[in-house]
Amino acid sequence: MIKTNLLFMICIVSGFLLTLQLICLQILVRKGQIEVKSSWSLLDVVTFNAHHNSIPLFIIDSEILKNISMKSHDLTRNTYCNILCSDRPIIHLATLSQFATQLLVDRFINAVKAKGYTVLQFKELDPIVNHLDIEVHILTHLIIIDESVNFEKTTHVIHIAVFYERLQSTNWWHGLLNLNDDQKRLLHRQGVKKSHFKVSLNNAIYDKVEIIRTTIDGLYLHLPNPMNNFMQKPEDVEFIECNKSQANIFREKYGREDNEEANNFRIKATLLLTKVKHILDELSVPFWLSSGTALGYYRQCDFITYSQDVDIGIWIYDYKPELIDAFSINDLLLIHRFGEIGDSFELSFLDKDIKLDIFFFYKQEDHVWNGGTQAKTGNKYKYIFPDFQLCWTELINLKVRIPCQTLTYIEANYGRNWFEPIKEWDWKSSPPNVEPNGQWPPDKWKDVIQLLPIPGF
């Protein structure tokens, strides 16, 4: 009798638990259906109205592009969020400024708002003409939010970056995404955190690519070709605008050297830097503007014509032995080789009558440094810099790298009076960040101090 009652109680409890599980499962399924429906509905409204207003949208979301590149999805499969929905509550798209005219964008925004969605617009002063005291506001970003839902892991926010052509139409640039406190709180309520953004929130630059029209999840969209251009880390595409307003102040105070010798140097330096960029890009060796070339860029958006050389920096771990041969094949003759790979390595090349100095940088725990060697004495010197990251910039219509912490870099090398032109400069004593670093043993001089003969001299 007792066993029968116990079995009966177990059956009742089991039945109750099973019913509870079924109810929970049904709630989760319904919730999932609502999440997918909400996600896809927002995408449908955005892509349809963009297409209707002839505003092409293409995917720049690195996670989605990586999934597509793995060919693990059928792009044409007409299902809710087969590809576009992810665990992150935001999707990144982009369009091009030549299509995003104010009239079409206004129509697009009004149509999206009419469906009950919130649209945030972001504008900034056009950096191309800002230094001319011409204030032109350009559209840089749109964020579209479905405030009717607030589920975790629901894609109900769409970010659209507006790209502008830069650098002789070979690159695309987008501006800063500067959220105010109210906008941050609004996104936070939708479950969007800063870590969810897979694009740079700062100014960024990309190589221009082809845009291919396709259908994804039954929606009109475009894909960049190649896609790997938009699979980079956000910090690898950040862009710093050269401060042309500061350059104007410098020219007003000190003038601009426009004599024949100065202009000839600009032409030669431009050709040299263009050649160097091509060679190092082919070798996949990243470099940045350093020393006097970095100072000229930062201070006057130009070369320092009286310097008569071009200076670049390279991390020592990026050095490749084939670099010297590649330069030689392109008529850049090696004239100096100082130091060794593990200590104070430095190379100098000659392009006709203009010199290229390559300084190799070493990383320590709390600083970075490059070395110098005095040929006559074997004395070594160390130039110490605070650690830095690299950003892209524009110089003479070339996309090149510069330390992101440019002012700190310049002040380390030239002190706080960097704005003042100084034509008398001793590389062993003038820089404020230089210090003695010992001496090469005489028996190593033949290896660490190599002065190669220059043909014709």
Domain boundaries, the chain: 38-236, 244-451
Six-digit token string for 356: 């290229």
| Mean pLDDT rounded to a whole number for the chain | 88
Measured CA to CA in angstroms, residue 178 lies from 95, 143, 298 at distances of 19, 12, 24
* Burial of residue 270 (number of CB atoms within 10 Å: 0-12, 13-18, 19+): middle
What are the phi and psi torsion angles at 271 (to 5°)? -65, -40
Radius of gyration of the chain (CA): 29
DSSP assignments along 141-169, one per residue: EEEEE-TT---TT---EEEEEEEEEETTT
DSSP H helical segments within 53-133, as ranges? 62-69, 102-114
Look at residue 243 in the predicted model and tell me its pLDDT: 94
Long-range CB contact pairs, 314-318, < 8 A, 24+: 314/280, 314/285, 314/286, 314/287, 314/288, 314/358, 314/359, 314/360, 314/361, 315/286, 315/360, 315/361, 315/363, 316/341, 316/345, 316/360, 316/361, 316/362, 318/285, 318/286
Look at residue 235 in the predicted model and tell me its pLDDT: 94
pLDDT digits (tens, 9 = 90+) for 61-99: 999 998 888 765 555 555 556 788 767 789 999 999 999
First to last CA, the chain: 115
pLDDT digits (tens, 9 = 90+) for 173-202: 999 999 999 999 999 888 898 989 999 999
pLDDT digits (tens, 9 = 90+) for 417-427: 999 999 888 99
pLDDT digits (tens, 9 = 90+) for 248-287: 999 999 998 889 999 999 999 999 999 999 999 999 999 9
CATH 3.30.460, domain 244-451, yes or no: yes
The better pLDDT of the pair 194, 9 is held by 194
- Give Cα 224 distance to the centre of its chain: 17
DSSP-derived 3-state class of residue 415: coil
CA atoms within 13 Å, Cβ hemisphere of 207: 12
Look at residue 76 in the predicted model and tell me its pLDDT: 56
pLDDT digits (tens, 9 = 90+) for 285-313: 999 999 999 999 999 999 999 988 999 99
Note whether 386 and 408 are within 8 A (CB).
yes
Look at residue 308 in the predicted model and tell me its pLDDT: 86
Look at residue 33 in the predicted model and tell me its pLDDT: 40
Q: Tell me the percentage of the chain whose pLDDT exceeds 70.
A: 85
Contacts of 243 (CB under 8 A, 6+ apart): 131, 298, 301
Q: Which residues of 225-248 are buried (b: 16+ CB within 10 A; e: fewer)?
A: eebebbbeeeeebbbbbbbbeebe
> Where do we find the tokens 């960049």?
224
Nearest to 276 by CA among 261, 260, 293, 263: 293
> Which run of H or of E encompasses 334?
strand 333-340
Note whether 448 and 338 are within 8 A (CB).
yes
What is the mean pLDDT of the segment spanning 389-413? 96
Q: How far apart are CA 320 and CA 406, in angstroms?
A: 26
Six-digit token string for 414: 């030239």
Look at residue 18 in the predicted model and tell me its pLDDT: 47
Look at residue 30 in the predicted model and tell me its pLDDT: 40
What number of H helices and E strands is found in the chain? 10, 20
Nearest to 96 by CA among 50, 172, 162, 47: 162
Q: How many CB atoms lie within 10 A of CB 64?
A: 24
Q: Where are the beta strands (DSSP E) in 69-111?
A: 90-96
Look at residue 180 in the predicted model and tell me its pLDDT: 95
Sign of torsion over alpha carbons 60, 61, 63, 69 = negative
